Structure 1
Amino acid sequence: MVELRDKVRRFGINVVPQILDDKSFDEDTLLDLKDAELLDLCRKLNLIGDDDFFFLDQCRATRNSFSIAHPAAGTVDEDEFLSFLSRCQKHALSSAHNPKGVDTKSLLAALKATKFKKDQRQEWERRIQETFEAQRELIFVMLHGIYCDPASGEEARLNAIAICESFSNDLSPRTRSALVDRHQDYKAKGDEARQKASLQFFETLGQLSLLSEAEVHSIFTSASRKLLSVHNGWDNFHNEPPFADRLLKLSRKNRVPETAQATFVEAVVTAATGNSYGVSNAASPSYNEMVKCSRQTRSS
């Protein structure tokens, strides 16, 4: 029990109230917890697993029933005593797993202060990586909300998407589900500003496959038509590169829906072929890569 209390301290007593939504939790509260309550807290914080909780709770019951602190209900033989010691050792004393909680208040303050420097962003990424899965899920949903909020400052939005992008390939199924649920809430409420920002969020993370086929179709066809529109303009050589780059990034990270492939191919081939004045040299590398990727996809 002493070790479990130390685990909570290493996790961060100042972070526990944010997880439990109990503003009164402090060192005195920790010391006043009954052993059963301490075990339950450690399980909620992922400091022990379900198996650890089960066996340690058995040890607690054994101690209460057979220690000299209470009227003995019977006797414990040598084998039972060794089993008791082994379980305490294995499930509490020798466990190296001790995630540290992320202080979300400090994270929010840092997000809103100024654009992260590289080492600052990496430090927050490290802290998020080291915390337990349930808190990571809450943090990513919070960052998604900040990015989609029209009232958020540009620094906060850039910081939020930068952190999420670094975890884009490691999001758990529960986190992906929670993000999609939030996106669907925006659609249901008719919140167009947040819905549009949410689409950009999924696009940047390369997670458009989580959304409906119709939404992904719309994103690809819209980007393709914008490229064609710019290509047909009088100053196309100057304006094409960013639109070509955007379409390239889309196709790199996400599969082009079958329903959007005709529009996508038309835009890429038309712009890559050029017009009577030639092609946009700055945009050509993007076109070449998209054509190359399309060939590889067909051959595979």
Structure 2
Amino acid sequence: MSTELLSKPQAGMLSTDTTKFEGYLAHLGLPTENIIASLPERKIIEANLPAFIESLPAEVKRDARYLSKFVAGAAIGLFDASLNYVWNEVVINLREKVIVYGLDMFFDAAVGGSRREFYATEEDLSGLKDNNLVNTCRKLELISDIVYTKLNHILTMRNDIGASHPNSYSINAYELLGWLQTCVQDILNDKPSASAIQIKSFIENLKRSPDVLDTATISSMEKPLGDLSLQNTDNLLNSIFGIYSTLSTGNIVRKNIALFAPHIWGKSSDNVKYKLGVTIDGYKNNLHNDKHALGVEFFNFCDGNRYQSLDSKIISLDSHADDLLQARYSWDNFYNEPPHMRKILSYLKTEADIPVERVNKIIKAVLICRVGKGIPYNTGVSPAGRPLYDQFFGMLGDQNIINTIIAMHTNEVRVTLDNTHCQKHMITVLTNLKANARSERIQEILDFLMQNGTILNKIHNDKRYKELTKNHITFG
């Protein structure tokens, strides 16, 4: 009997009628609608799932308990639970990639400001929001941009229509199968980029080196480091600053950092330099005097003291922008976003009050919140936060209108703009910006974007748009 079951699976195993189970729920006085997927949807899973599972290598299936749980959830019709099982495996896989890459480097990129000191071990990875984990993995090139886009979509679905949040939307079978295939084939088997591996190797060799680097060695390092992308160069600068300012770091390691850090500093963005300046001020404010002194040393040999003179307004706005984004990606964000936005606006009465050192970060954070989550409830934007965000965008002039358009093209905003709700909100922002635009060319750019609102997520590839914006925006 058991041999027959192994060689010929019982027909209808996944599409068994669940009427009795629904009757039992009704008997208990519990809801029955939108709990279990319909029989036709389960039959679609039954017809297509075996071929996909059979196509996987034996070593992939051997310890894939999440796949067993996925099949169990699909069998009874709990598609949202099945999605949760797959997503949990994705998170575990990303954490494993982070551990291989290096926890210190990852936390340097993922956690800013005063919270950084609380993140050091593998267990601390569980303290990061899934969105932060995914974004940082993309930033460090542990996953590709394409995989990041897919993950962002699946995470949105998991959060807004999955079992982790109450909802009335039902996942259909083809969506579920597509997400499973994406997670298994494109994500769980995805490898870090060559640049990520190069940075990891560089940091490890730096920590292990028993000797002070000579001039020839430093010169040989310049070209491969110079070939890194700006994002990876920023990540590397952030990491070596963290190593240098760690009290347990040895003198030889610090000496070697002092020798080559100026080369990396010169190739890094102003944004990461100002961020490190905020970190130094944080050491001072929290009475970490030894770490503060080491941070000042780092800025001295990098000739970066002009980035260190940050007043309390810049530090406060940086922290409030971080808090606003954290609220955006947390539970009850509709209620938690407005207090942080009010704090930001308390420093800003006119556009001139926005510090140039943090204007791009603030614009991007506010835009992410204003475009919203792309869900039907309140069209994805905090009702109390909406007028606050509009007030902020209403004070922007030509240069910061361009900065807002540039923020629209960043990954975090762009991936949401294939959603109709997010498109409408972005068009509203563009409409508000046009009211203040003085330049005729900028008005033309805004008109073009509004006329092409349904393709804002890919409009950066349009030749007409590139020609129109060539004096204001440079696309990679």
Assess same fold via TM > 0.5.
no
**TM-score for the superposition, normalised by structure 1:** 0.39
